[in-house]
Amino acid sequence: MKMKKFKEWLNEDANFSKTSIDNPGAFTYNPIAEEEESNYMFFSNLKRIKEVSTMILAMDRKKIDEMLNNGHDWANDHVTVAKEDLTQVFEFFKGSITKPVTESSSTDNLKRQYSMSPTWWVAWRLENEKPKGYTITKDAFSKTYEVKKDDETLFVFDYQRNKVFTNESPSMFVIQNDISAEEMKNIQNKADKIKGDSPKEEPKEKPEDSNIESDEKKSEEE
């Protein structure tokens, strides 16, 4: 009978937990998913940061404040540096990962997708929000508007990609009333503001333009 290697045995035992030097608090966690990732220590360290932060926040704030004011402000410096470093990591991943937050969180249970322009969204909102008692919340981070009725999410409008996530039929998004020219102008202005809130790629400078500009500078210097 062939003897299993430790890693083989470890990966077959889904209930096995472990502690390690980087986990001195003896918190147990399932190693299976982590062993499959080449950078599992990155995620393990993030979990540890979260655990320690939660424990510190659960301590007596007044006593911690007194200690910080009595010669232990080094702890404040450590937390400040850690926050700045972690924020920098977060901003990097936020800007690099294209999958929006909405697809993995608030839209999990919304199975239908429709296209909707910011102009149509503004017109629909003006016609329906107050008369039908909808609650609309904007999330500037994920570039979405969430529409609720009696605490139930009806749909999420992703204005960065002009998509609607919902379980409702298309009839919900029909605009019933006629729109005057003045109203349309107001709607378009609001829609332009929404479009301006979406990130856009900066136009790349054409090589010939840059050459012309450099030639002009040389002629001016001469």
Specify whether 108 is located in the same domain as 171: yes
pLDDT digits (tens, 9 = 90+) for 62-92: 999 999 999 998 999 999 999 999 999 988 8
Specify whether 22 is located in the same domain as 107: no
Let me know if residue 88 belongs to a domain: no
Specify whether 53 is located in the same domain as 110: no
State whether residue 131 is helix, strand or coil: coil
pLDDT of 143 > 70? The answer is: yes
pLDDT category, 3, cuts 50, 70, 90? Answer: low
pLDDT category, 200, cuts 50, 70, 90? Answer: low
Let me know if residue 67 belongs to a domain: no
pLDDT category, 96, cuts 50, 70, 90? Answer: confident
Specify whether 113 is located in the same domain as 43: no
pLDDT of 106 > 70? The answer is: no
What is the domain count for the chain? 2
pLDDT of 154 > 60? The answer is: yes
Let me know if residue 70 belongs to a domain: no
Of the candidates 105, 107, 104, the one whose C-alpha atom is nearest the C-alpha of residue 167 is 107
Helices H, strands E: what count in the chain? 9, 5
Half-sphere exposure of 179 (CA within 13 A, CB side): 18
Let me know if residue 87 belongs to a domain: no
Q: Across the chain, what does the average pLDDT equal? A: 76
Specify whether 38 is located in the same domain as 125: no
Half-sphere exposure of 23 (CA within 13 A, CB side): 20
Q: pLDDT value at position 198?
A: 61
What is the DSSP secondary structure assignment for residue 173, as one 8-state letter? G
Region of poorest pLDDT, from 22-26, 168-172, 211-215: 22-26
At 193, list the tokens. 């503001």
Give all strands (DSSP E) within the chain, no chain letters. Answer: 112-115, 135-139, 144-149, 152-158, 163-166
Specify whether 52 is located in the same domain as 130: no
**What are the CA-CA distances from residue 15 to residues 8, 28, 141 (Å)?**
14, 10, 37
Is the overall model pTM greater than 0.85, yes or no? no
Domain extent, residue 53, equals 1-59
- The average pLDDT across 42-48 equals 89
Specify whether 133 is located in the same domain as 188: yes
pLDDT category, 216, cuts 50, 70, 90? Answer: low
Let me know if residue 218 belongs to a domain: no
pLDDT category, 12, cuts 50, 70, 90? Answer: very low
